[in-house]
Structure 1
């Protein structure tokens, strides 16, 4: 769909928010906490951004975009060239980071990682759940929504700017596993790695994370070519070691949507009917990988000689 930028605001050092609406004031698709959209920029770049506005507002979406000097140009385009009134393509929303029921929630954000957690906090408040937020950033001025969160939620929100406090002190919060608490974390890779280490002794599925960028890809389990059957068409294709499953099935005529092609957005999620995928994405949780009933063909491969996909 094509949406119009209704507002663009600077909300922190290096961070702008965009408010998007339908040009004809039509209702937008509903979404749930943890959802993201694909933003298709006029020059053809596609980037994923978490929805961080009011999910009960059916007519607008809000996203926040951090300028990334070392990025691939998408954030610079948003900051420097997009303006109210411009039209952008939008795909989704999709949610691979859903808020699941729990007695308590611990939200941990690093920098712009606060964005998917905002709607979760609003939902936790709505259902009167017990929750706490640990929010770290380079400095107070760089931490989007900091004042809004502190004003609305008081001592549930723990602000920890790195230039004042150092890195987030996770030990008091994570050293003792709590079966009734779900931990949700979004932020840069070092923070995610630290939280994963701290939660190693927690019950299964107690931690859910969302990444800005794909984790480093491990070596494939299967180092040689394998076959993929497209069950709907009856075609079988050979996937060579230097070719992705996504590319191979597209060459065979399968119409598979994709966006990031790095295993981080979930656009190309495909059902698996037979065989065992070699999961190499940054989205699926451990129990989802263990089910072996879906895969991200942009990065994932096969653990054996054959896969059958619902394509």
Structure 2
């Protein structure tokens, strides 16, 4: 595992966690995390994928080890898409396979639609063409909470509560998730590594579902859709309609995981296997 700091502009560098080596016949895999998360969420999946190819997991701007944005109103998916295309340029990667969880999947859809030559295949982890308002309101509620913690135990309790839909993680997996998500301030508080200003994207009242069907219609790459069976972000009807809408696409596959909500954490063996086998088969 190697940590890279990649400048993509005069005022912005992104941290990338790299594993594996380039292999003939296999494209690198770029992994992009969810809204409040970071590249280390892909440690388990990347460790397996890296036995066959180069894997790059990126901290999106304002998360993990990447720089924060001076203007919080630029914490938007369309801006992130521009950043990540610039990252591919900086890494001299003409094309990748994209694995995106939640926000990372939405960014992947944007790149697929606007710079299709940069992707070969797309994995959407629990996100799709319609996002219900109620699910976004749930996220906005926990984003608005004070996320300063007196100690590690309080931080772990918070993460276990807000990310309970990730599924039945072990105690060790929870501790790893928390440890990769926090830092200590000089005055002893425990805080997330995420810039709190990302909440500005939810500064306006959420009154309607987000309809991304036109964006999905522009995605033509082979796509694997992963869905937590209890997900509120990706309703079953949306996932099924996406999987059925094959016009203009090579292939769309849908895999559901019981006992999981939003989003599958990609640490369980069945979740990892679904991604690894699909990428190998589709390759």
- State TM-score, norm by structure 1: 0.28
- State TM-score, norm by structure 2: 0.30
State which structure, 1 or 2, has the greater radius of gyration over its C-alpha atoms. 1
Structure having the higher strand fraction is: 1
Structure having the higher helix fraction is: 2
